[in-house]
Amino acid sequence: MELRELRAFVAVVEEGGLSAAARRLHVSQPALSQTISGLERQLGVRLLVRGSSGVTATEAGIALVGEARAVLARHDQAVRLMAGYAGPGGGALRIGIPLELPPGLLDPALAELAGAHPETRVQARHLSTAEQLAALRAGELDVGFLRERPSGPEFDALLVVREKLGVLVAAEQAAELAGPDGIPLDALGALQWVGFPRAGSPAWYDELTAVLRGHGLDLGPEAPEGQTLIADVKLTAVASGQAFALAPPGWQQPLPDRVTWSPLVGQPLVRRTWVVWPADSRRRDLGRFIAALDRSVRE
Protein backbone atom coordinates (compact mmCIF):
# COMPACT_ATOMS: atom_id res chain seq x y z
CA MET A 1 0.00 0.00 0.00
CA GLU A 2 1.14 3.52 -0.83
CA LEU A 3 0.52 6.62 1.26
CA ARG A 4 -1.47 8.23 -1.55
CA GLU A 5 -3.80 5.21 -1.59
CA LEU A 6 -4.34 5.38 2.16
CA ARG A 7 -4.92 9.13 1.99
CA ALA A 8 -7.46 8.63 -0.79
CA PHE A 9 -9.28 5.89 1.13
CA VAL A 10 -9.49 7.98 4.32
CA ALA A 11 -10.85 10.92 2.32
CA VAL A 12 -13.60 8.79 0.78
CA VAL A 13 -14.66 7.42 4.17
CA GLU A 14 -14.60 10.85 5.83
CA GLU A 15 -16.48 12.56 3.00
CA GLY A 16 -18.98 9.74 2.57
CA GLY A 17 -18.70 9.71 -1.19
CA LEU A 18 -16.34 9.68 -4.14
CA SER A 19 -17.39 13.05 -5.55
CA ALA A 20 -16.75 14.99 -2.34
CA ALA A 21 -13.50 13.13 -1.72
CA ALA A 22 -12.31 13.85 -5.28
CA ARG A 23 -12.94 17.57 -4.75
CA ARG A 24 -11.04 17.47 -1.46
CA LEU A 25 -8.06 15.68 -3.04
CA HIS A 26 -8.19 17.69 -6.29
CA VAL A 27 -8.36 14.61 -8.49
CA SER A 28 -10.99 13.35 -10.91
CA GLN A 29 -13.68 11.01 -9.62
CA PRO A 30 -12.78 8.20 -12.09
CA ALA A 31 -9.12 8.37 -11.00
CA LEU A 32 -10.13 8.18 -7.34
CA SER A 33 -12.48 5.26 -8.00
CA GLN A 34 -9.66 3.44 -9.77
CA THR A 35 -7.33 4.04 -6.80
CA ILE A 36 -9.86 2.58 -4.35
CA SER A 37 -10.56 -0.42 -6.58
CA GLY A 38 -6.83 -1.05 -6.89
CA LEU A 39 -6.44 -0.90 -3.11
CA GLU A 40 -9.24 -3.44 -2.68
CA ARG A 41 -7.59 -5.76 -5.21
CA GLN A 42 -4.24 -5.48 -3.41
CA LEU A 43 -5.77 -6.40 -0.06
CA GLY A 44 -8.21 -8.97 -1.41
CA VAL A 45 -11.11 -7.51 0.61
CA ARG A 46 -14.02 -5.22 -0.04
CA LEU A 47 -13.50 -1.93 1.76
CA LEU A 48 -16.53 0.10 0.69
CA VAL A 49 -20.17 -0.49 -0.11
CA ARG A 50 -21.32 1.84 -2.85
CA GLY A 51 -24.93 3.01 -2.87
CA SER A 52 -27.12 5.72 -4.37
CA SER A 53 -26.61 7.95 -1.32
CA GLY A 54 -22.82 7.54 -1.16
CA VAL A 55 -20.43 4.97 0.25
CA THR A 56 -20.04 3.27 3.62
CA ALA A 57 -17.11 1.34 4.98
CA THR A 58 -17.34 -2.43 5.41
CA GLU A 59 -16.06 -4.09 8.57
CA ALA A 60 -12.66 -4.43 6.89
CA GLY A 61 -12.85 -0.83 5.76
CA ILE A 62 -13.56 0.39 9.29
CA ALA A 63 -10.54 -1.53 10.54
CA LEU A 64 -8.34 -0.12 7.78
CA VAL A 65 -9.38 3.49 8.19
CA GLY A 66 -8.21 3.52 11.80
CA GLU A 67 -4.84 2.07 10.83
CA ALA A 68 -4.56 4.38 7.82
CA ARG A 69 -5.16 7.48 9.93
CA ALA A 70 -2.46 6.38 12.35
CA VAL A 71 0.03 5.73 9.53
CA LEU A 72 -0.70 9.09 7.86
CA ALA A 73 -0.44 10.95 11.15
CA ARG A 74 2.93 9.36 11.87
CA HIS A 75 4.15 10.12 8.34
CA ASP A 76 3.08 13.77 8.53
CA GLN A 77 4.64 14.13 11.98
CA ALA A 78 7.90 12.61 10.70
CA VAL A 79 7.99 15.04 7.79
CA ARG A 80 7.45 18.01 10.11
CA LEU A 81 10.05 16.70 12.55
CA MET A 82 12.67 16.30 9.84
CA ALA A 83 11.90 19.81 8.58
CA GLY A 84 12.75 21.00 12.07
CA TYR A 85 16.21 19.49 11.79
CA ALA A 86 16.89 21.80 8.88
CA GLY A 87 17.74 24.10 11.79
CA PRO A 88 18.73 27.58 10.72
CA GLY A 89 18.33 26.79 7.06
CA GLY A 90 20.30 25.00 4.40
CA GLY A 91 17.29 23.43 2.71
CA ALA A 92 14.41 24.59 0.58
CA LEU A 93 11.68 26.85 1.95
CA ARG A 94 8.61 25.78 -0.02
CA ILE A 95 6.05 28.57 -0.31
CA GLY A 96 2.50 28.34 -1.65
CA ILE A 97 1.21 31.44 -3.42
CA PRO A 98 -2.32 32.17 -4.69
CA LEU A 99 -3.16 34.07 -7.83
CA GLU A 100 -3.23 37.86 -7.43
CA LEU A 101 -0.99 38.13 -4.40
CA PRO A 102 -0.29 41.88 -4.01
CA PRO A 103 2.95 42.87 -5.75
CA GLY A 104 5.81 43.63 -3.40
CA LEU A 105 4.27 41.84 -0.42
CA LEU A 106 7.02 39.23 -0.25
CA ASP A 107 9.97 41.37 -1.30
CA PRO A 108 11.05 42.72 2.13
CA ALA A 109 10.67 39.33 3.84
CA LEU A 110 12.52 37.49 1.07
CA ALA A 111 15.31 40.06 1.16
CA GLU A 112 15.70 39.67 4.92
CA LEU A 113 15.60 35.88 4.61
CA ALA A 114 18.33 35.97 1.95
CA GLY A 115 20.52 38.14 4.15
CA ALA A 116 20.06 36.10 7.33
CA HIS A 117 19.97 32.62 5.75
CA PRO A 118 21.71 32.73 2.36
CA GLU A 119 21.85 28.95 2.24
CA THR A 120 18.04 28.67 2.20
CA ARG A 121 16.56 28.19 -1.28
CA VAL A 122 13.06 29.51 -1.88
CA GLN A 123 10.71 27.37 -3.98
CA ALA A 124 7.36 28.98 -4.85
CA ARG A 125 4.28 27.18 -6.17
CA HIS A 126 1.05 28.77 -7.41
CA LEU A 127 -1.78 26.88 -5.69
CA SER A 128 -5.33 27.55 -4.55
CA THR A 129 -6.12 27.82 -0.85
CA ALA A 130 -7.47 24.26 -0.71
CA GLU A 131 -4.44 22.90 -2.57
CA GLN A 132 -2.06 24.73 -0.24
CA LEU A 133 -3.82 23.45 2.86
CA ALA A 134 -3.62 19.88 1.58
CA ALA A 135 0.07 20.34 0.74
CA LEU A 136 0.80 21.81 4.19
CA ARG A 137 -0.86 18.83 5.85
CA ALA A 138 1.08 16.41 3.67
CA GLY A 139 4.40 18.10 4.47
CA GLU A 140 4.81 19.26 0.86
CA LEU A 141 4.80 22.98 1.74
CA ASP A 142 6.50 24.83 4.58
CA VAL A 143 4.34 27.95 4.44
CA GLY A 144 1.38 29.15 2.42
CA PHE A 145 -0.65 32.25 1.68
CA LEU A 146 -4.32 31.33 2.10
CA ARG A 147 -7.57 33.22 1.52
CA GLU A 148 -9.09 31.67 4.64
CA ARG A 149 -7.67 30.90 8.06
CA PRO A 150 -7.55 27.21 9.03
CA SER A 151 -9.25 26.26 12.27
CA GLY A 152 -7.71 24.22 15.06
CA PRO A 153 -4.25 24.05 16.64
CA GLU A 154 -2.47 22.38 13.70
CA PHE A 155 -1.36 25.65 12.10
CA ASP A 156 -0.35 29.15 13.11
CA ALA A 157 -1.52 32.06 10.98
CA LEU A 158 -0.85 35.76 10.51
CA LEU A 159 -3.15 38.14 8.63
CA VAL A 160 -0.96 39.92 6.09
CA VAL A 161 -3.33 41.53 3.57
CA ARG A 162 -6.78 43.12 3.60
CA GLU A 163 -7.86 44.16 0.11
CA LYS A 164 -11.02 46.18 -0.48
CA LEU A 165 -12.19 44.76 -3.77
CA GLY A 166 -13.49 46.88 -6.60
CA VAL A 167 -15.01 45.88 -9.91
CA LEU A 168 -13.75 45.48 -13.46
CA VAL A 169 -16.38 46.40 -16.05
CA ALA A 170 -16.49 47.48 -19.67
CA ALA A 171 -15.65 51.18 -19.99
CA GLU A 172 -19.03 52.15 -21.47
CA GLN A 173 -20.87 50.46 -18.60
CA ALA A 174 -18.67 52.15 -16.02
CA ALA A 175 -19.65 55.50 -17.52
CA GLU A 176 -23.32 54.62 -17.00
CA LEU A 177 -23.10 52.99 -13.55
CA ALA A 178 -20.39 54.86 -11.66
CA GLY A 179 -21.17 57.69 -9.29
CA PRO A 180 -18.80 59.89 -7.26
CA ASP A 181 -18.14 57.03 -4.79
CA GLY A 182 -17.93 54.24 -7.34
CA ILE A 183 -20.39 51.62 -8.59
CA PRO A 184 -23.12 50.25 -6.29
CA LEU A 185 -22.90 46.47 -6.09
CA ASP A 186 -26.60 46.06 -6.78
CA ALA A 187 -26.20 47.97 -10.07
CA LEU A 188 -24.35 44.98 -11.53
CA GLY A 189 -27.40 42.72 -11.58
CA ALA A 190 -27.59 42.58 -15.39
CA LEU A 191 -24.01 41.29 -15.69
CA GLN A 192 -22.56 37.83 -15.15
CA TRP A 193 -19.98 37.45 -12.39
CA VAL A 194 -16.67 35.97 -13.58
CA GLY A 195 -16.18 33.74 -10.55
CA PHE A 196 -13.82 31.02 -9.40
CA PRO A 197 -14.51 27.40 -8.40
CA ARG A 198 -15.74 27.01 -4.83
CA ALA A 199 -13.41 24.05 -4.29
CA GLY A 200 -10.39 26.36 -4.47
CA SER A 201 -11.34 28.30 -1.32
CA PRO A 202 -14.72 27.23 0.11
CA ALA A 203 -14.96 29.64 3.06
CA TRP A 204 -13.95 32.69 1.03
CA TYR A 205 -16.26 31.66 -1.83
CA ASP A 206 -19.21 31.33 0.55
CA GLU A 207 -18.48 34.69 2.19
CA LEU A 208 -18.14 36.42 -1.16
CA THR A 209 -21.20 34.92 -2.81
CA ALA A 210 -23.35 35.62 0.27
CA VAL A 211 -22.60 39.33 -0.12
CA LEU A 212 -23.24 39.25 -3.86
CA ARG A 213 -26.56 37.46 -3.46
CA GLY A 214 -27.47 39.81 -0.61
CA HIS A 215 -27.27 42.66 -3.15
CA GLY A 216 -29.61 40.87 -5.53
CA LEU A 217 -27.07 39.45 -7.97
CA ASP A 218 -27.87 36.23 -9.83
CA LEU A 219 -24.54 34.41 -9.89
CA GLY A 220 -25.48 31.74 -12.40
CA PRO A 221 -23.72 28.36 -12.47
CA GLU A 222 -20.59 27.84 -10.41
CA ALA A 223 -17.28 27.94 -12.29
CA PRO A 224 -16.12 24.42 -13.23
CA GLU A 225 -13.79 22.77 -10.74
CA GLY A 226 -10.18 23.08 -11.83
CA GLN A 227 -10.75 26.24 -13.86
CA THR A 228 -8.02 28.79 -13.18
CA LEU A 229 -9.24 32.38 -13.07
CA ILE A 230 -6.24 34.00 -14.72
CA ALA A 231 -6.15 37.66 -15.70
CA ASP A 232 -6.76 37.05 -19.42
CA VAL A 233 -9.94 35.11 -18.64
CA LYS A 234 -11.28 37.96 -16.52
CA LEU A 235 -10.44 40.66 -19.01
CA THR A 236 -11.80 38.84 -22.06
CA ALA A 237 -15.14 38.20 -20.36
CA VAL A 238 -15.41 41.74 -19.00
CA ALA A 239 -14.49 43.37 -22.31
CA SER A 240 -17.48 41.65 -23.93
CA GLY A 241 -19.77 43.93 -21.93
CA GLN A 242 -21.72 40.98 -20.52
CA ALA A 243 -19.75 40.34 -17.31
CA PHE A 244 -17.97 41.87 -14.36
CA ALA A 245 -15.02 40.69 -12.30
CA LEU A 246 -13.71 41.61 -8.88
CA ALA A 247 -10.19 42.93 -8.35
CA PRO A 248 -8.22 44.94 -5.78
CA PRO A 249 -7.31 48.58 -6.51
CA GLY A 250 -3.64 47.75 -7.01
CA TRP A 251 -4.32 45.04 -9.57
CA GLN A 252 -1.02 44.51 -11.34
CA GLN A 253 -2.37 43.54 -14.76
CA PRO A 254 -2.53 46.24 -17.46
CA LEU A 255 -6.13 46.93 -18.48
CA PRO A 256 -7.19 47.12 -22.13
CA ASP A 257 -8.83 50.33 -23.28
CA ARG A 258 -12.29 48.73 -23.18
CA VAL A 259 -12.05 47.76 -19.49
CA THR A 260 -11.89 49.96 -16.41
CA TRP A 261 -11.62 49.42 -12.65
CA SER A 262 -13.96 51.18 -10.23
CA PRO A 263 -14.39 51.03 -6.44
CA LEU A 264 -17.59 49.59 -5.01
CA VAL A 265 -19.80 51.95 -3.05
CA GLY A 266 -19.45 51.23 0.67
CA GLN A 267 -16.57 48.79 0.08
CA PRO A 268 -18.70 45.70 0.88
CA LEU A 269 -16.10 43.11 -0.17
CA VAL A 270 -12.81 42.62 1.65
CA ARG A 271 -10.44 39.83 0.61
CA ARG A 272 -8.10 38.67 3.38
CA THR A 273 -4.89 36.69 3.00
CA TRP A 274 -3.19 34.82 5.85
CA VAL A 275 0.30 33.42 5.91
CA VAL A 276 -0.04 29.92 7.41
CA TRP A 277 2.59 27.47 8.68
CA PRO A 278 2.71 24.31 10.86
CA ALA A 279 2.44 25.24 14.54
CA ASP A 280 5.18 22.76 15.48
CA SER A 281 7.75 24.01 12.97
CA ARG A 282 11.20 24.66 14.45
CA ARG A 283 12.85 26.17 11.38
CA ARG A 284 14.66 29.39 12.19
CA ASP A 285 14.69 30.50 8.57
CA LEU A 286 10.90 30.14 8.43
CA GLY A 287 10.64 32.03 11.73
CA ARG A 288 12.77 34.85 10.29
CA PHE A 289 10.58 34.99 7.18
CA ILE A 290 7.36 35.19 9.23
CA ALA A 291 8.82 37.83 11.57
CA ALA A 292 9.85 39.96 8.58
CA LEU A 293 6.34 39.68 7.13
CA ASP A 294 4.87 40.68 10.48
CA ARG A 295 7.04 43.80 10.65
CA SER A 296 6.24 44.85 7.10
CA VAL A 297 2.50 44.49 7.78
CA ARG A 298 2.72 46.62 10.91
CA GLU A 299 4.76 49.40 9.30
Cα(130)–Cα(23) distance, integer angstroms = 10
Phi-psi region of 213 (alpha: psi -120 to 50; beta: other; left: phi over 0): alpha
Domains 90-158+274-298 and 166-268 share a fold: yes
Name the residue among 211, 205, 214, 2 with its Cα closest to residue 98.
205
CA angle 140, 274, 223 (to 5 degrees): 80
Got the DSSP string for 176-237?
HH-BTTBB-GGGGTTSEE----GGG-HHHHHHHHHHHHHTT----SPPPTT----HHHHHHH
Distance CA 38, CA 49 (A): 15
DSSP 8-state class, residue 269: -
How many whole angstroms separate alpha carbon 186 and alpha carbon 174? Answer: 14
Please give the mean pLDDT across all residues of the chain: 88
pLDDT at 81: 66
Q: What is the pLDDT of residue 32?
A: 87
Q: What confidence score (pLDDT) does residue 90 get?
A: 52
Global model pTM greater than 0.85: no
CATH fold, domain 166-268, is D-Maltodextrin-Binding Protein; domain 2 (3.40.190)
Q: What is the pLDDT of residues 51-106, one digit of tens each?
A: 877 899 999 999 999 999 998 888 777 766 665 555 444 589 999 999 888 878 89
Residue 88 is predicted with a pLDDT of 47
Q: How far apart are CA 186 and CA 172, in angstroms?
A: 18
Q: Is 118 exposed, middle or buried (0-12, 13-18, 19+ CB in 10 A)?
A: exposed
CATH of domain 90-158+274-298: 3.40.190.10
Stretches where the chain sits below pLDDT 50 are 87-89
Q: In the CATH hierarchy, which fold is given to the domain comprising 3-83? A: Arc Repressor Mutant, subunit A (1.10.10)
Write down the pLDDT at residue 84. 55
From the list 1, 83, 78, the residue with the least C-alpha distance to 39 is 1
* Count of alpha carbons within 13 angstroms of residue 257, beta-carbon side: 0
Q: Where are the domains of the chain?
A: 3-83, 90-158+274-298, 166-268
